């Protein structure tokens, strides 16, 4: 079949693409390439002078206990936000998948936190968790007679940013789980019920496996979210503290560049993150559609 299109206007497509490519090349590609370049140099604070140091910045980073700690913290942060976030979101999505009058109203409510910025989410949770006037501690005191120093204790501060991140991203996860649940035909459940399977068995043996493509996609997206988007939450809630317990990689990178003024080291950290994103994306494209079966 002949593909009809505007063949005679051979320059038009390039003309249409040029504004987009000018922006992408100048502000996306060039800085990314420059990250690699910058990471090979050492620069005096505020100085114009650059000294080529090869991969020394990377060697220093991987020998720096603070950076290794930051990597470890980020890994734990990713694992916990994803596990807790996806379990909660799936349960809520199942509840929201009921065929009930007015269910759309509830769905809208559950999506609201996703529209809210990380900064605002951080601000709201800092208030809720503060020991003096916040309601969370009051309720904990009432129920279990305990007082938690949320943001001044390393463990609880770490938990606090996990809670805020899970809350903020839940809406996104629910949207995809809901779409996934609705794509499962009712006939599958019906035949399972005829076979005498109980609700829990159906959920465990049918719903969860059939949702695996959605879950896989969400894990990938949540890795990206927790690595990058949590910057605002950390900056408002903990500024990386106490004792670097919430100093996740993206926050450390920011401090290296804009507080310690070490562009070389900061660029090396950018390149490490970039490598991570590329690995995750390749993983996504390679295994996303093949290994996870949908019926």
Partner 1 sequence: MFDLNRGPYSTYKKIALHLVLIIISFIVLMPIIFGISVSMQPRAQIFSYPPSFLPDRLYFDNYIKAWNLVSLDKILVNSILASSVVMLGKLGLGVLSGYAFSHFEFKYKKFLFFAVLFTLMLPMQVRVVPLFEFISRLGLGNSFSGLVLPFLASATTTFLMRQHFLTIPKSIMESAQIDGCGPFRFLFQILLPLSGANLAGLAVVNFLVMWNAYLWPLIIINDDQKKLAQQGVKMLFASSSERDWGIIMAGTIMVVIPTLIVFLLAQKFFVKGIATQGIKE
SS3 state at 43: strand
| 44 near partner 1, rule: CB under 8 A | no
Kindly identify the residues of this chain, within the stretch 205-244, that bind partner 1 according to CB under 8 A: 207, 217, 224, 227-228, 231-232, 235-236
Which range of residues in 5-13, 58-66, 67-75, 77-85 is near partner 1 by CB under 8 A? 5-13
Q: How far is the CB of 94 from partner 1 (least distance, A)?
A: 6
The residue (of 108 and 146) whose beta carbon lies closer to partner 1 is 108
Kindly identify the residues of this chain, within the stretch 243-272, that bind partner 1 according to CB under 8 A: 250, 253-254, 257-258, 263, 266-267, 270-271
For 15, counting Cβ atoms within 10 Å of its Cβ (0-12 exposed, 13-18 middle, 19+ buried), the class is exposed
Which range of residues in 48-56, 58-66, 76-84, 114-122 is near partner 1 by CB under 8 A? 114-122
Task: List 222's β-bridge partners, or say none.
Answer: none
Count of all residues that appear for the chain in the document? 295
Q: How far is the CB of 72 from partner 1 (least distance, A)?
A: 19
The residue from 158, 176, 222, 223 that contacts partner 1 (CB under 8 A) is: 176
| 224/68 Cα distance (integer angstroms) | 19
| 192/189 Cα distance (integer angstroms) | 5
SS3 state at 50: strand
SS3 state at 246: coil
The residue from 62, 147, 277, 294 that contacts partner 1 (CB under 8 A) is: 277
State which H helix or E strand residue 67 sits in: helix 65-96
Helix (H), strand (E) counts: the chain: 15, 2
The residue (of 131 and 154) whose beta carbon lies closer to partner 1 is 131
The residue (of 69 and 119) whose beta carbon lies closer to partner 1 is 119
Spatial CB neighbours of 276, under 8 Å, sequence gap ≥ 6: 227
Kindly identify the residues of this chain, within the stretch 121-160, that bind partner 1 according to CB under 8 A: 121-128, 130, 132-135, 138
The residue (of 64 and 190) whose beta carbon lies closer to partner 1 is 190
The residue (of 79 and 95) whose beta carbon lies closer to partner 1 is 95
Query: x/- string (CB under 8 A) for partner 1, residues 79-98?
Result: -------------x-xxxxx
The residue from 58, 83, 84, 116 that contacts partner 1 (CB under 8 A) is: 116
The residue (of 20 and 63) whose beta carbon lies closer to partner 1 is 20
State which H helix or E strand residue 42 sits in: strand 41-43
DSSP-derived secondary structure letter, 4: P
Query: x/- string (CB under 8 A) for partner 1, residues 180-209?
Result: ------x--xx--x-----x--xx---x--
DSSP 88-148: HHHHHHHHHTS--TTHHHHHHHHHHHHHS-HHHHHHHHHHHH-TTT-HHHHHHHHHH----
Which range of residues in 62-70, 71-79, 149-157, 278-286 is near partner 1 by CB under 8 A? 278-286
Kindly report the number of other CB atoms within 10 A of residue 58's CB atom: 17
The residue (of 159 and 224) whose beta carbon lies closer to partner 1 is 224
Answer whether 247's CB lies under 8 Å from 99's CB. Answer: no
């Amino acid at each position: 079949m002949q593909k009809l299109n505007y063949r005679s206007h051979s320059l038009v497509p390039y003309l249409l693409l040029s504004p987009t490519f000018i922006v992408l090349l100048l502000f996306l590609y060039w800085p990314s390439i420059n990250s690699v370049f910058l990471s090979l140099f050492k620069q005096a604070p505020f100085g114009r002078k650059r000294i080529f140091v090869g991969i020394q910045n990377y060697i220093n980073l991987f020998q720096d206990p603070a950076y290794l700690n930051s990597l470890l913290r980020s890994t734990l942060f990713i694992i916990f936000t994803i596990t807790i976030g996806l379990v909660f979101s799936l349960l809520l999505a199942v509840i929201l998948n009921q065929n009930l009058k007015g269910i759309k109203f509830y769905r809208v409510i559950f999506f609201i936190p996703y529209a809210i910025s990380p900064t605002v989410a951080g601000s709201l949770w800092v208030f809720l968790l503060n020991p003096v006037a916040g309601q969370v501690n009051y309720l904990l005191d009432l129920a279990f007679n305990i007082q938690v120093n949320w943001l001044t204790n390393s463990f609880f501060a770490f938990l606090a940013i996990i809670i805020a991140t899970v809350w903020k991203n839940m809406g996104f996860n629910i949207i995809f789980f809901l779409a996934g649940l609705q794509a499962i035909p009712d006939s599958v459940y019906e035949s399972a019920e005829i076979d005498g399977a109980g609700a829990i068995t159906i959920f465990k043996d049918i719903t969860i496996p059939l949702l695996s493509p959605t879950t896989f996609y969400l894990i990938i997206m949540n890795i990206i979210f927790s690595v990058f988007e949590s910057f605002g939450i950390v900056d408002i809630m903990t500024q990386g503290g106490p004792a670097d317990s919430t100093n996740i990689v993206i926050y450390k990178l920011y401090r290296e560049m804009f507080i310690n003024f070490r562009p070389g080291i900061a660029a090396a950290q950018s390149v490490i993150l970039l490598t991570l994103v590329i690995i995750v994306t390749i993983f996504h494209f390679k295994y996303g559609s093949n290994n996870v079966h949908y019926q």
